[in-house]
Chains A and B, each alone.
Chain A
Amino acid sequence: MKAVRDTLQLFLRELRISIRMPIWIIISIIQPLIWLLLFSQLFRVVGSLGAFKGGSYLQFLAPGLAIMSSLFSSAYGGMGLLRDIERGFVDRLLATPASRGALIGARVLHAAVTVMFQAVVILLMSFLLGVRPEHWIVGPLLVLASAGLLGGAFGAASNGLALLAGRYEILMALMNFTILPLTFLSTMIMARPLMPTWMQAITRFNPVDWAVTAARDSFQGGPAGEVGLDFLLLAAFTAVCWSLAARAFGRYRARS
């Protein structure tokens, strides 16, 4: 109970910090929109190859972009934790009876909520551009769930790596190193049949692709069994990232 209360209080703190940066909010909204325009224009011709579910490339792209924005927003979440360590906030918290898990928990929750908000923006914008889900309620909701899970996972991983690396530079380099390959080794912007065979094989082991296919199949009405499996894998990945973050935090505390 205390863990939940503490997580909520610290989550509200994160939320206040975000809300007080209007520029951050504006960019968070505009960025996915720009992606939507850029990618749909850049790959317009590709769409005519016909391998894209739902007919138009935009229809294919929209759920994938929701996941892309989730990945890019959450991957740098550990920076805030390093800032809090530097400013003594973490030590102050650790000298109170506050739940030890609440610190990371609140940050991950914040990452998940942020990316779901961005996913809503993307889905609304693509709706205006003519994109339609197969199932009106369940489809968009599952896209949000998938984005939230992946955001939570990468948020946790980022916090964990931040604690292990201890430096902004290393965290930045690690994330820059991982994010783009994970993006291109998934079906986020490219249909599976159009990828080289070896890449198609790799996508099966890519958590980002699990999130993308979970979101897209939910949105376009794919087979329920596959959607279920993707969500299961994604949930397992999230759990692994959480435990990584928890261990890293334990190690950080033991080291001081």
Chain B
Amino acid sequence: MNAIEVEDLGKTYRNGVEALRGISFNVEEGEIFGLLGPNGAGKSTAVRILATLSAPTSGRAWVAGVDVVADPEAVRRRIGYVAQASSVDIQATGRENLLLQGHLQDLSGPELHRRVDELLERFDLADAAGRMVEGYSGGMRRRLDVAMGLVHRPRLLFLDEPTTGLDPESRAVMWREVEELADEGGVSVLLTTHYLEEADRLSRRLAIVDHGLIVARGSPDELKSALRGDRVTVELAEEADLERAREVLAARSAGGDVLAEGSTLHVQVSSGARAVPGIVAALEEAGIGIAQIAFNRPSLDDVYLHATGHSFEAADAEGALAAATAGGGSGSGMSQEAGR
């Protein structure tokens, strides 16, 4: 039985925003599965549906074999949910946070206290256990978030952007924790992230989500090797030359991949070392100035670019902008952004 099965899941919010447009994937027992995509791609919406916080408008989903719509209560007992924004109670101590979470998951007595001690130790929070969370660092809060998700020993953990906003050191600590969970604890993890590096490092398999659709899936290696050869990146001196440069290179590569964006061109070639001199010569001949040229092995960034036709960075910025606009610059109130 798969830890998660998702079949053609769709979600349209009341304001008409189509957050998910029919996605399907499954997460196997004990694996870390990554949902990678820019801000506003629909990752959090998918997780919220699987965690029974939001109802799908179409499609079905099962968690540990249980239909999330038909029996949400049973799903809630089987999952740990760590939301995108830290949701620890800052007006309580670390220990109190864990104890309350345990009580709500029907644990009590010495068993609960043992479990809480164990988690505090394991997430390096034992010394701070009696302090108000208000004084915790971002990394500590995030670790407490994850510990709270684990208090009832779920077999499946949802981690929605677990390292967003963390400093590099805290991020590395979190990565080790997540790896340990899957390796030693046998916990299945559904991870969402907009960090390519994080998806690459942690997930055994991943799906790239863009505008509510899955545009690519597989293991990070599979995805990268699907793009054979090297990727040459040419930055033009003048953005105005872009269209002409694209034509020149498209003619040269004879049907190979040429993607244009801003003042940058991405060219898929079999060998970067052999292709670069020719590209430079062809552009010079056409009188097009080059600001910078480089080639490298494909990264997940290239996989994303290849699947969606736009670079990850651009989509992320656009998603963040859309989210900010949708929020209407509201200072306070409920944080129910439909775009998520």
Contacts and interface: CB of A to CB of B under 8 A. Distances in A.
B104 A93 contact: yes
Interface string A228-255: 0000000000000000000000000011
A60 to B, nearest CB: 40
B79 interface: yes
Given A94-B53, A96-B105, A17 B91 contact: yes
A86 B103 CA distance: 22
Contact of A97 (B51, B76, B83, B87): B76
Interface stretch (A107-115, A146-154, A162-170): A162-170
A5 B104 CA distance: 8
How many chain B residues sit at the interface, stated as a range, is 20 to 34
Given A94-B53, A169-B332, 15 more contacts: A9-B103, A9-B104, A13-B96, A16-B96, A88-B83, A91-B81, A92-B81, A95-B81, A96-B104, A96-B105, A166-B333, A167-B334, A254-B55, A255-B14, A255-B336
A168 B333 contact: yes
B331 to A, nearest CB: 9
Interface in A63-91: 82, 85-89, 91
B105 to A, nearest CB: 6
B57 to A, nearest CB: 12
Interface of A: 2, 5-6, 9-10, 13, 16-17, 20, 82, 85-89, 91-98, 166-169, 254-256
Contact of A92 (B87, B96, B106, B335): B87
A17 B81 CA distance: 24
A254 to B, nearest CB: 7
Given A9-B103, A16-B96, A88-B83, A95 B53 contact: yes
A97 B333 CA distance: 26
Per DSSP, chain A at the interface is helix
A256 B53 contact: yes
A6 B52 contact: no
B79 A95 contact: yes
B334 A96 contact: no
Contacts of B12: none
B333 A95 contact: no
11 contacts: A2-B106, A6-B104, A85-B335, A86-B333, A94-B53, A95-B79, A96-B105, A97-B77, A166-B334, A168-B333, A256-B48
A91 B76 contact: no
A87 B106 CA distance: 23
A93 B79 CA distance: 12
A91 B55 CA distance: 14
A94 B73 CA distance: 10
B219 interface: no
Contacts of A13: 89, 92, 96, 100
A88 B85 contact: yes
Contacts of B333: 82, 86, 166-168
Contacts of A166: 333-334, 336
B15 to A, nearest CB: 10
Contacts of A85: 334-335
Looking at A85, A94, A167, A169, which has the most chain B CB atoms within 10 Å of its CB? Answer: A94
B101 A256 contact: no
A256 B79 CA distance: 19
A239 to B, nearest CB: 26
Contacts of A5: 103
Looking at A20, A87, A95, which has the most chain B CB atoms within 10 Å of its CB? Answer: A95
Looking at A86, A89, A92, which has the most chain B CB atoms within 10 Å of its CB? Answer: A92
7 tightest Cβ-Cβ pairs between the two chains A and B: A88-B87, A95-B81, A98-B104, A167-B333, A92-B87, A9-B103, A96-B104
Contacts of B87: 87-89, 91-92
A91 B83 contact: yes
A167 B334 CA distance: 7
A169 B86 CA distance: 25
Contacts of A94: 52-53
Contacts of A82: 332-334
A87 B105 CA distance: 20
A85 B89 CA distance: 11
Contacts of B73: 97
B150 interface: no
Interface in B99-117: 100-101, 103-106
A94 B53 CA distance: 7
B90 interface: yes
A245 to B, nearest CB: 16
A96 B48 contact: no
